Structure formats: C-alpha cells, structure tokens
Amino acid sequence: MRVFQFIMFTLPVPFLFCFYEYNSYLLRKDAHLLFPLFLLLIVVNGVLIRKINLRLILGVNMIMTILSLILGFVFLDDSWFFKPFGRDGAILFISLFYVFGQLLVRWFIFISKRPSDAIN
C-alpha cells in the first residue's frame, strides 16, 4: 500500500494533463477523459493523504510540480498552443488546482470525522 501511495503521490499529473490535452489537439480529437480522470486523481490522492503531515504533502507536491515542469520542458513544445501564459504557466496553473483539490478533499475528510457539535 505504501508503494501505491508513493506512486500516486509523485505522479506528475499536471504534465500528464497538458501532454494529453496537447496531443489530443494535435490529433484533432476531443480529450473526453481529461477532466473526469483529473477529478478522480484529485479525489484518490486526497483520500490517500488524509493522515500525512501537511508539510510533507506540500513538499512532495512541490517536487511533483518541479518534475512536471522538467517533463514539460523535455516533451512539450512551447508553441502557440500554450499562449498567452506559456507551457510552464499552464503546468503551474494546473498544479495549483491539483494541490488545492487534494487539500480540499483532505479537509472534507477531516471535517466529516469530527464529532458533531449539534445539541441532542
């Protein structure tokens, strides 16, 4: 289970998002699975990180973002497709939403496990 958590946590999702979208556009096809798969990965990772320290989460997500930027530099052409923000801006933007989504799912799990403050 720890190996699965590590793989899911360090998966360069922002790069994969841009790579899939860019290649789908080049093939003149719609990226139908892009958004549902992105949301699924956010929820799965949010559930997996529910018991992990926040500093570790932010540190590993920073490493994942840097890895995504490196992979984007190697495999994605910074052409007209990513204008006006560029390839790196698109990867950083997607990474921001990805990390925020994970933390939001983690927070919802944390809130749902707290005892209710309702008066009986």
**pLDDT string in tens for the chain (120-residue length):** 788 888 888 899 999 999 999 999 888 998 888 999 999 999 999 999 998 999 999 999 999 999 999 999 999 988 888 888 899 999 999 999 999 999 999 999 999 887 766 555
Half-sphere exposure of 63 (CA within 13 A, CB side): 10
Residue 33 inside a domain? The answer is no
Dist CA 104 CA 41 (whole Å): 13
Structural domain for 101, as ranges: 49-112
**Number of domains observed in the structure of the chain:** 1
Residue 100 inside a domain? The answer is yes
From the number of C-beta atoms within 10 Å of its C-beta (0-12, 13-18, 19+), residue 16 rates as middle
Q: Which of 69, 23, 49, 50 is nearest to 111 (CA)?
A: 50
Question: Tokens 């990390």 — which residue?
Answer: 99
pTM for the model stands at 0.87
Half-sphere exposure of 85 (CA within 13 A, CB side): 8
